[in-house]
Amino acid sequence: MTVRVKICGITSSEQAQMAQHQGADALGLVIYEKSPRYVNLEQAAKIRASITSDCLAIVLLVNPSELLVKQVIEQVKPDFIQFHGDETPEFCHQFNFPFIRAVRMREGLDINTEVAAYSAEGGFLFDAWSDDLYGGTGHSFDWSRLPTTTDYQLILAGGLTAENVNQAVAMTKPYMVDVSGGVESSPGIKDPQKVKAFINEAKK
């Protein structure tokens, strides 16, 4: 099975169309005000309308209110919500809506315990740990910490670029790879050539 590619931090309909044209399997919209790739609900809904049915639309949230989650579900209508903060299993499950759970790879983390707590239909996204950032760090982590076999969809994120994604895929055999800063010319602006190169390398 060829690995899928998610381009995260899409900030306009034009960017969404470009990424789909280059072969992206999923697009991420960041509704988190502290992110340089932040879009509001109205912008997210507009971008969502330009994402075709053969490409997943994923909204990334960090420690959102219940109201915001409900607004995202009703107004943006994503395929999945990506909970990327410190959300509890109870919080994530209450909406009865398919989600991806981000696991930030802090020291001493017990991956099995973390995964067992969440019913994440969209899989688990493993990202680098940062004390003050929720994703978008531009740093990778030690991929050998990941399990070699899983009964869930493993999504690899953190510091991926066209230069290292082929090695990452060979080593971790993920269901999907997730990139944001690694395909940008500046925060929130995806570079078509970098997007194309990344997707080609990931799927090679």
38-61: per-residue pLDDT in tens?
999 999 999 999 999 999 999 999
Instruction: Report the sign of the C-alpha dihedral through residues 29, 35, 36, 42, in that order.
Output: positive
Using an 8 Å Cβ cutoff, are 131 and 104 in contact? no
Among 3.40.1180.10, 3.40.250.10, 3.20.20.70, 3.40.50.150, name the CATH number for the domain at 4-202.
3.20.20.70
Q: What is the pLDDT at residue 123?
A: 96
Q: What is the pLDDT at residue 120?
A: 96
133-155: per-residue pLDDT in tens?
555 556 788 888 898 888 999 99
Q: How much is the pTM?
A: 0.94
Q: Is the pLDDT of residue 34 over 60?
A: yes
Q: What is the pLDDT at residue 128?
A: 83
127 is known as an active-site residue: yes
C-alpha count within 13 angstroms, C-beta hemisphere, residue 197: 13
For residues 26-30, average pLDDT: 98
Residue 165 per-residue DSSP state: H
Count CB neighbours of 200 within 10 A: 15
What percent of the chain stands above pLDDT 70?
Answer: 95
In this predicted model, which residue has the larger pLDDT, 13 or 128? 13
The token pair at 63 is 């420690």
The token pair at 190 is 């995806």
8, 25, 55, 79: the active-site residue: 8
pLDDT band at 201 (very low <50, low <70, confident <90, very high): very high
101-117: per-residue pLDDT in tens?
999 888 778 889 999 99
Q: What is the pLDDT at residue 131?
A: 55
Using an 8 Å Cβ cutoff, are 188 and 36 in contact? yes
For residues 116-126, average pLDDT: 96
Q: Distance (Å, rounded) from C-alpha 137 to C-alpha 203?
A: 24
Q: Is the pLDDT of residue 82 over 80?
A: yes
Residue found by looking up tokens 């053969």 in the block: 54
86, 127, 178, 191: the active-site residue: 127
Q: Where are the domains of the chain?
A: 4-202
Residue found by looking up tokens 């983390």 in the block: 109
Q: What is the pLDDT at residue 105?
A: 85
